[in-house]
Structures are given as structure tokens and as C-alpha cells.
Structure 1
């Protein structure tokens, strides 16, 4: 069980502070380069005898010890994303790349009577959302195709290892620091172990927990308060692909009303007639071409998604 969350960002640790992880490896902190809702991200190095270089290949996430998101992310990496396991899985599928960041170590620290949890990771570059913003929210069809194929691989791997991501979106897709042509699905703070030790969690709707997640992409199950699932991950991916290809979503105008978003998604998902789809969106004749592109791209890069959806029960 994750620790009880402590509100707010942690007080910063000093530049040059030395951390020791659970395997007794030492890490030196550099400058802060970012933050999330509850944690800070520092440049880091294993060369503790000198200041951390600006072009280091490592970062360390730091949160208060009491917080849950980093604890959840850490458990995901320790259970499901060991580098040797990922390499074995890639070999069995003849893959040269799997877009999951590398975990290097973790531990606890104390400073000025405050307790911290930390996790060392590969340094990553910019996020995909910034690229979308520079391009009016859209990406090229070839880029969407490639992203869809690579994300299907990532989801297949984490699903086989009893986890779902539950928060797929452009802001959580990071470019490689040294190789920006590679894209990684990051931020597993909301990841969920749907099948611990082979025992699949029960499908149960709970209206009190409805509409959780990033509202634009929340799965229909999540709108109903169902716990995160493989099917939910795949549906979230489908909504992301639609957004990246078209630059907008049919429910953009009602994002302040989760129930209306849920209704719009349900109508879109259930629609099988392209002309009805375009008429319902009221986007005009130019939307016919875009809608056809969506179907084509989804057909190419989500064939594996559709195959999985036929197999997954929930």
C-alpha cells in the first residue's frame, strides 16, 4: 500500500547533496531541472567527487517519504521493468527498442529532519506535448503511425507484467535525451497492478470514483469509476491517436462537464458509419478526410490494439 500523501513540493535538497541507494551506490545531486505535482527532478551523477555536469545522463526524482506517487512508480519499476527482463522480452519479439525508461536505483534520505524518497532514472528530453503545441496540436500521420506501433509494444509488455499505465498522454511521452527520435512512456505514478500474482481485479463500477484521469482521454470504464484496466489503456491510446492526428477531439467543447464527455465518447466509440460520425461532429466536409485518416491510421498502428481488445475481458 502506498504511503499517505504529503501535500506540496518537497523542500529542495542542497546542490551537491550525496544520496546512497539501497544497493549502496552513491549519487550526487545537481541543479533542479523540473518538478511534478509532488516531486522535484534533479540532475545527478555517480561521480560524487565533482559537480554534476550539465549534460549528465541521469536524473533523480525526489518526493517526501510520505507521498504515494513516487512509491507507486518505484514499485512498478522494481516489479515489472527490470532491465534484464525487458531485454529478454524484446529478444522474443525481435524488437530493437522498448520505450520504457531505465531505472537505476532508489532509496531514502534525511535532511533537516525531513525524510525523502528518491529514484534514479535515465535522463529524458522534452515531452511530446510541447511538439504538439508547436504544431497546432497535430502530428504528421507517419509520426502518429510510429507512435501507435511503439506504444502498443510498451502496453503489451507492461500488461503482461500485471500492470496498466492509466495515464497515457502527450505530456507523459518523453523524447530521448541523447536520441530524440526515440519516445518513452514515462510517469508511472498512477500505474495500477490489475492482476497481482495472477489474481485479476474484479470489474466493479463505482460512481463515486467516476471520471478519474485526464478528462480528454479518460476511458469509458474510468468514467464509470471502474479501476484501471488493460482495456482502459488501449482506449486511452485510441483517443490520444485521434487527438494527435486531428489536432482536436469531438468533446473538446464540453470538457468542463465530465458526464457530457463520457456521452460523447460513448457515441463516438459506438459509431460505425463514417458519414454519421462526421454529421454528429458538425465539423463540415473537411472532417470526412480527417475521419478517414483516423480510421486508416488506427487500422495500421492499432491492429495489435484491436487484437488485444478482442482477447481482453476487462
Structure 2
């Protein structure tokens, strides 16, 4: 049974380093040190080698929350239903992809500690989040980097959308570099993932003011502002806002984030006045034409309409043709401009505290 939703989740009392957890498949995992915490849970380094202390270079992490909390339960259901490795590999072969940035799920289970019940989930370890990189680079990415990340996100979103889910909370804090492959980007944190089309039946459009302005206010979709359940077009709209911020450094409503109604009105204005609203917002010397076209296409979608992902990718890739980027290669965020040939980059390790709310 899913846990009851609460307005605020309790952060669990930390588990002891060295504790052994057994997942539902009877596989044992040893906890290492805690490396992150957020609004509902904790993240520990972990290892399947239970007889020795967990190494700092461990390639697994364990997310932990109280059993009565909800986000980890939602994330677990997403992985069990929509992100099994055999399904991902089959999809990649079908789409001729060499990489799809969905973290690997290794197992899950429940544990008891000091009279409290915990839920845990074992995942592959990831690296630094994109928000940290964005801030360190002066809140600005070059156009080539933004468009390449956008295309990678479209690959991920097409897969999860085809498997009846939407992410609902796309933002730089939830995009993480790989730990073993630090030049690739993963879309993480499926705690708000929503099954928009269970058994092939799309949820109906229904506004609910009591649920208005859900999500991260800076990027959330117009549907979410109205309390409408998440959809494919909502995910793509959010991605469009993210790309606009990454390329321009800020969004037109950035100064008004404490006023959800004002943010909603500003987003309406932006979408109503495309492409001029985007091109005029862009700093001098910054061409955001592809993002304007992307948002124009997305804003024309019906609530339950299937997006044309290939068309959207072509829009973004059109801004890269002259530079011949290695779209299937690695990202380089170490210089002002992306490397044209080898696309070399700088390894980044660690696990961002921003990954969890």
C-alpha cells in the first residue's frame, strides 16, 4: 500500500554506517557514510561486499526514508514499472541510441532501526548536478551545450513518456553527471513522477485550484499552475524554460518567484508572444531562435497529444549543424565553448545534496 501523503515529510534518524540491509531479492548491501540529505530522506554510499567497509569510490548509493513517507515510494514504483534495464536496453537498440540517461536501479527493501520502519532503494552512484556546474560557471552555458543537453533530455523523456510516466520536475538540480562516465548527463529524482496514462488511458484535463502552482515554481508548466495533472506537454514546456535559463542566465519571471500568479501570467505572456518574447529576452549576441521554435511547437500541443519528439530534436539540432557537435559523444563544460572533435571534459565525482528535496 502506498503511504499517505502529508504536507511535510519527516527526515529519518540516520542509520549506522556499516549496517547491513537485505533487499526484496535477498541481496545484502552494506551502508557506507551518509553523503547527502534532503527534505524527506538520506543518501549513503553502499556496497554489495558486506564483509569489508564501504570504499569512498563505491559505485552504489542507498536512498533511505521513513516507511510512511511518499517520494521514495513513488520513485520505486516508477523504476519497477517503467525503467527495468532489459526494457531500456531494448528501447536503446530500437532507437539506435548508445546511451540513455536514466540511473540504474539495483534493488529495494525495508529495514527496522530503533523501532522505526524504513524504506530503501539501491541506485547507481551519480556525480555532480548540473545546477552546481551552472552556478560555478557564472549561471551561463554556451548555446552548443544547452542544445546538446536538450536533445539528450528529449531521448529520456520520449522513453519515460512511452512507458506511461512523466517526470514532472525537470531542472538542473535533477540533472546529474555520471560517476563512472562524468561526460554524460542523467535525469534523476523520480519522486514526483506521475503515471499520466495508466494502461493506455490518458488522464482527463481537469483544473483544480487547490493543487495549483505545484512543482518548482520557476519552471513548472502552465497546466501545473492551474492544478492540472502532469502531462507530456508539461514536461516539454518545463524543459524549454530550463534551456532558456541555461542560455540566457535567467528567466523573465525570476524576480517574482514568491508570487505564483505573477509567474503564471509571465509564462502566459511568453508563450502567447512567441517567438519575439524569447528572442527579445535573450542577451545581446545570444541567439535563442531554436528555443523559441521549440516552445512554439510545445505550446501548440493538446493536453493529451503525443509530441513529435523527432521534430523537436531536429529543431534543437538545427542550431548545431554548422558546428558539427558530437551529439552522441560527451559533453564538455570545462571551457566557454564545447570541444568540436573529441569533446573532452573534466571528471566530476560526488553526489549532490540537491538531488533530493
Q: TM-score, normalised by structure 1?
A: 0.91
Q: Give the match for residue 137 of structure 2.
A: 135
Q: 1:287 aligns with which of 280, 283, 286?
A: 283
Q: CA deviation at 1:183?
A: 0.4
Q: CA deviation at 1:2?
A: 2.9
Q: Give the match for residue 51 of structure 1.
A: 53
Is the partner of 2:106 in helix, strand or coil?
Answer: strand
Q: Give the match for residue 92 of structure 1.
A: 94
The answer to whether residue 145 in structure 2 is matched with residue 149 in structure 1 is no
Alignment of 1:33-72 (within 5 A): 33-72=35-74
**Residues 14-33 of structure 1: CA deviation (Å, up to 9, x unaligned):** 11100000001000000000
Is the partner of 2:288 in helix, strand or coil?
Answer: helix
CA–CA separation in structure 2 for the residues paired with 1:161 and 1:236: 19
Q: Give the match for residue 313 of structure 1.
A: 304
Q: CA deviation at 1:141?
A: 1.1
CA–CA separation in structure 1 for the residues paired with 2:278 and 2:41: 42
Q: Give the match for residue 186 of structure 2.
A: 184
CA–CA separation in structure 2 for the residues paired with 1:177 and 1:307: 32
The answer to whether residue 287 in structure 2 is matched with residue 296 in structure 1 is no
CA–CA separation in structure 2 for the residues paired with 1:229 and 1:12: 36
Is the partner of 1:146 in helix, strand or coil?
Answer: helix
The answer to whether the Cα contact below 8 Å between 1:138 and 1:244 also exists between their aligned partners in 2 is: yes
The answer to whether residue 224 in structure 2 is matched with residue 222 in structure 1 is yes
**Residues 143-179 of structure 1: CA deviation (Å, up to 9, x unaligned):** 1011000000000000000000000000000110121
Q: Give the match for residue 3 of structure 1.
A: 3
Is the partner of 1:287 in helix, strand or coil?
Answer: coil
Bigger RCO of structures 1 and 2 (CA < 8 A, at least 6 apart) = 2
Q: Give the match for residue 19 of structure 2.
A: 17
Is the partner of 2:68 in helix, strand or coil?
Answer: coil
**Residues 61-108 of structure 1: CA deviation (Å, up to 9, x unaligned):** 000011100000000000000000000000001000001000000000
* Larger mean Cα displacement after TM superposition, 138-147 or 153-162: 138-147
Q: CA deviation at 1:114?
A: 0.7
Q: CA deviation at 1:55?
A: 0.1
Alignment: residue pair count: 303
**Residues 219-243 of structure 1: CA deviation (Å, up to 9, x unaligned):** 0111111011111001000000000
**Residues 245-273 of structure 1: CA deviation (Å, up to 9, x unaligned):** 00000111211111111011011111135
The answer to whether the Cα contact below 8 Å between 1:141 and 1:297 also exists between their aligned partners in 2 is: no
Q: Which consecutive residues of structure 1, in runs of 5 or more, have no partner in the other structure? A: none
Q: TM-score, normalised by structure 2?
A: 0.81
The answer to whether the Cα contact below 8 Å between 2:236 and 2:298 also exists between their aligned partners in 1 is: no
Q: CA deviation at 1:310?
A: 4.5
Q: Give the match for residue 266 of structure 1.
A: 268
Distance 1:89 1:298, change over 3 A: farther
The answer to whether the Cα contact below 8 Å between 1:278 and 1:288 also exists between their aligned partners in 2 is: no
Q: Give the match for residue 344 of structure 2.
A: none
Q: Which consecutive residues of structure 2, in runs of 5 or more, have no partner in the other structure? A: 306-357
CA–CA separation in structure 2 for the residues paired with 1:2 and 1:306: 37
The answer to whether the Cα contact below 8 Å between 1:124 and 1:175 also exists between their aligned partners in 2 is: yes
CA RMSD of aligned residues (A): 2.0
The structure with the largest helix share of the pair is 1
The answer to whether residue 233 in structure 2 is matched with residue 239 in structure 1 is no
